Every structure is written in C-alpha cells, then in structure tokens.
C-alpha cells in the first residue's frame, strides 16, 4: 500500500502540467509554472508518516502486538524476529513482492520503483525499461514533471494482457505527450560517464540519460522466509501456492497478496486478508472473489478496466459485440493540447451481458469503479441503455453507445467495422 500512495500522489503532480496548459484556453493567464521536486518528496514523506501513524494506531487499538524486523519461519507454528521466537496456532504470510532487476553489467546504477520517489532531484533525461503498468506510470510521471523520457520495451507494445484497443490508444496518447518508445529492444549495458549514464542495447544503439528506472516485473518476497525447509509448495518464481482459502500446503500456514502470485493489487490483498480473518476468527467462513476485479493504470492519460478484454471474451464466448467510442472530451475542446478519450464495452451477443468495460482518459479509475459494481451484478447492455446519463460528462458515453462497432465470433468472423 505504501507504494500505491506515493505513485498516485506523483501522478497527480504530473497531471498539473497538462492542466496548466489547458487553462489558457479557458481564459487563464499564467506565468510559466515552476516545479520543485524536493517539495513534492517532503510532502509525500510527511503524508506517509501520517498514514503510518494512523495504521499503527488502528493496530494498537485492536490489540495487535507489533514486532519490527525481518522474520523467518522456524516451523509450522513459530517465527523468529530479531532473535526472538514467536509462536502461534496460525501463521499468515503477507510479505508482498519486490522489483526484479536485469542482471546486466552496470545494473547497480539503475533504480527501481522502490527508490524512485526518494531521488534527491528530478532527473532531466530518463530511460524507463519495461512495458507493464508500472513502467507506463513512471514514464508518464517523469514526462509530466518535465523530464525527457524514453520507454524501452522487450515486446512490440505496452501493457501486455490489456485489451488491444486500450494498448493502442494509450500508446498514441503517451506519444502525443512526448514520450518516446523503443520497442523490441533490450538494454545490455549501463556505464557511468562524465555527463550521465551511457547505455548500449541489443540493437546496436547507444543512449545517454541521467536515470535508468527498471520496471521489468516483480517477484514474490519469499527468499529469506525459510519456507522450502518446511515443505511449503512454491511456484518457480517463488510465489507461494495456496488454495481458495489462502492456505498453503502446510495446514497452519496461510498467505495473501502479491506473495501468492495471484492478482497483484492492493485491494485484492486486503480482500484476501479480510476473508482469511472472517473465516478463521470471525465465524463467517468465506473466500475472496477474484472474478471481475477492476484495475487502473495511473498513466497520462489514465487507464481503467473491469472484466474481459475483447480477446479473452472471444475465446470464451460464441459471439461478442463490441461498442467503442473515441472522442475529444468537453474539457479538451477549448484547450490547445492533445487528449482523446477511448471507451469500450465488450458484450456477449447471446445473453446481452456486459463482459468487459474499458476506458483510457481522464478520471478513468473514478468512472470504472462505478461500472465495476454494475458488472459484478451482471449488468446487460440493455441495463446500460436504460440508464440516464449525466450530461455533459465523459462517463455518460458508457450509457449512450447505441451503435455496435463490430461483432466477432469464436471462428473469427467479423461483422461491422
């Protein structure tokens, strides 16, 4: 959770650059705004310290004993922390994940998302390595704060696993904001030079930057826990294998969150932990529901999705109908800068049930959260059509899309554009 909050705060900060530029079209006359990285870092640290105090106070009020330090599991009922042995009927592991590194020469000169929000100053030239949501968020943050940004991808496009229309639209919007992409390229070497970091790639090119940020994935934090000697079943990447009750192969040991390799989202970890507590100590046995989980990418512009992508829906349904809209939102009509919103609905053609809801645009996360409730309840396209929109908003587009873009069958037959 501590990683999510700084990322969102810095994303807010990055978004102001576009807001300042847009304001001119609405009559505001501003001097060129300046940005102070140190002020943002100091205020972030103060807010995190406040939240830390709040969380610790809540734990103390609930009667929780806290032991700060690194722990390892001794046996099925015991943990050692700083030389002290603690015993319990049940052990819950919630150690999260940690960023991966590349293991290339000069790798130690790069940073990860763990260190990025504590840099002493804003780097002028940044290379972000990776194509996932963290990489896209970091590229957007640095570019929004004024850095020159290149994002290097091993594959041909960003956000693998997201809907193809989302991937294409976000790429185009990020490029409009000045982010350069180096696709199908691998970083091979980092060296410290007099004026910056000198980089070489497998494509024979070279680049000089002030900061290399690695966002190439995360691995479960299990290396020092001592699980192997206890016979806890683990995946090849170190993730703890659990059943639907979050129980490991050792009956008294449970695990929730990123460390299990399930859905790596903070709210999912909270839901798993809540279900664990209710089941073992609250007298209300239940499991966390991993279906239809909404998620957001705090890039510029934002991405938010819930449900199936078009590609997933085609694999699991006989025929799907696609509704898609690409428009310039009202707020951008008087602004000189770029900014188009994309919204998409994936619908089961047989049952009319909405299978997926996707958005790239301002406030996407705020908008999709509400539609996540509708999809969780089994909303149909007819339900959305019968809902009155709030005008003028971008969100109303989801309930006014009447004309299907295309229909696709499992055999690949496409009708429409």
Phi-psi map region of 56: left, alpha, beta (phi>0 left; psi -120 to 50 alpha): alpha
What is the residue-wise DSSP string for 268-296? Answer: HHHHHHHHHHHHHHSS-------SS--EE
Q: Write down the catalytic residue from 189, 290, 358, 391.
A: 391
Rounded distance between C-alpha atoms, residue 347 and residue 322, angstroms: 6
> Which H or E run includes 191?
strand 187-192
Q: How far apart are CA 337 and CA 59, in angstroms?
A: 47
What's the token pair of residue 307? 């449900």
Q: Please state the φ and ψ torsions of residue 293, each to the nearest 5 degrees.
A: -85, 120
Report d(CA 403, CA 400) in Å as an integer: 9
| 198 given a catalytic annotation | no
Spatial CB neighbours of 291, under 8 Å, sequence gap ≥ 6: none
Residues 6+ apart with CB under 8 A from 29: none
Could you give the residue numbers annotated as active site? 391
């Amino acid at each position: 959770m501590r990683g999510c909050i700084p990322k969102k705060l810095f994303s807010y900060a990055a978004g102001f650059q576009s807001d300042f530029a847009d304001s001119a079209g609405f009559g505001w006359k501003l001097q060129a705004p300046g940005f102070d990285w140190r002020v943002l870092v100091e205020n972030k640290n103060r807010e995190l310290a406040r939240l830390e105090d709040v969380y610790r106070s809540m734990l103390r009020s609930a009667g929780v004993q806290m032991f700060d330090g690194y722990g390892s599991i001794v046996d099925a009922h015991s943990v050692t922390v700083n030389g002290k042995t603690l015993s319990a009927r049940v052990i819950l592991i919630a150690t999260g994940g940690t960023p991966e590194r590349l293991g290339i020469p000069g790798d130690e000169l790069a940073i990860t998302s763990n260190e990025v929000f504590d840099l002493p100053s804003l780097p002028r030239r940044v290379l972000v390595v990776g194509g996932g949501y963290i990489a896209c968020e970091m590229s957007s943050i640095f570019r929004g704060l004024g850095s020159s940004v290149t994002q290097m991808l091993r594959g041909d496009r960003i956000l693998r696993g997201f809907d193809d229309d989302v991937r294409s639209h976000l790429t185009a919007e990020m490029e409009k904001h000045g982010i350069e992409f180096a696709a199908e390229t691998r970083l091979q070497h980092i060296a410290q030079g007099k004026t910056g970091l000198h980089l070489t790639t497998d494509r024979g090119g070279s680049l000089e930057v002030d900061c290399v940020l690695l966002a190439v994935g995360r691995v479960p934090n299990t290396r020092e826990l001592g699980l192997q000697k206890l016979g806890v079943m683990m995946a090849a990447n170190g993730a703890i294998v659990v059943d639907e009750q979050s129980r490991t192969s050792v009956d008294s040991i449970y695990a929730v969150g990123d460390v299990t390799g399930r859905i790596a989202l903070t709210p999912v970890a909270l839901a798993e932990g809540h279900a664990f507590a209710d089941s073992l100590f609250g007298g209300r046995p239940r499991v966390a529901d991993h279906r239809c989980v909404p998620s957001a990418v705090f890039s510029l512009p934002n991405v938010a999705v819930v449900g199936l992508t078009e590609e997933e829906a085609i694999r699991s349904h006989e025929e799907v109908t696609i509704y898609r809209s690409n428009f310039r939102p009202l707020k951008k009509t008087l602004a000189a800068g770029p900014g188009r919103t994309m919204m998409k609905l994936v619908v089961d053609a047989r049952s009319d049930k909405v299978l997926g809801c996707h958005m790239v645009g301002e406030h996407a996360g705020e908008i999709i959260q509400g539609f996540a409730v509708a999809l969780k309840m089994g909303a149909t396209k007819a339900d959305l059509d019968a809902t009155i929109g709030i005008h003028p908003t971008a969100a109303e587009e989801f309930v006014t899309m009447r004309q299907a873009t295309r229909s696709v069958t499992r055999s690949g037959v496409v009708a429409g554009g």
